[in-house]
Amino acid sequence: MGIKDGVLLARVTAPPVAGRANKALRQMIAKRIGIAPSRVSVVQGEKSRNKVVRVEGVGATALEQALRDPDG
């Protein structure tokens, strides 16, 4: 997971079947940030490789820092 040109790049191993890949992405982001997965949602691109996610309760600067820092 990393950020390039302001875009989060992430890979999950879960298959894109029955929402498993989206769930894995939400869990991966939540774990990195230290919040509950229920606070991360896919708001656009549920069936696409490119997605827009919303993270509740975390400011943009803190979010970007947590996603850039491999130690969270």
Helices 20-33 and 60-68 pack at an angle, to 10 degrees, of 100
User: How does pLDDT run across 12-55, given as a tens digit for each residue?
Assistant: 999 989 999 999 999 999 999 999 999 999 999 999 999 999 99
Quick one: average pLDDT of 56-72? Answer: 80
Percent helix, percent strand, percent coil in the chain, to nearest 5: 35, 20, 45
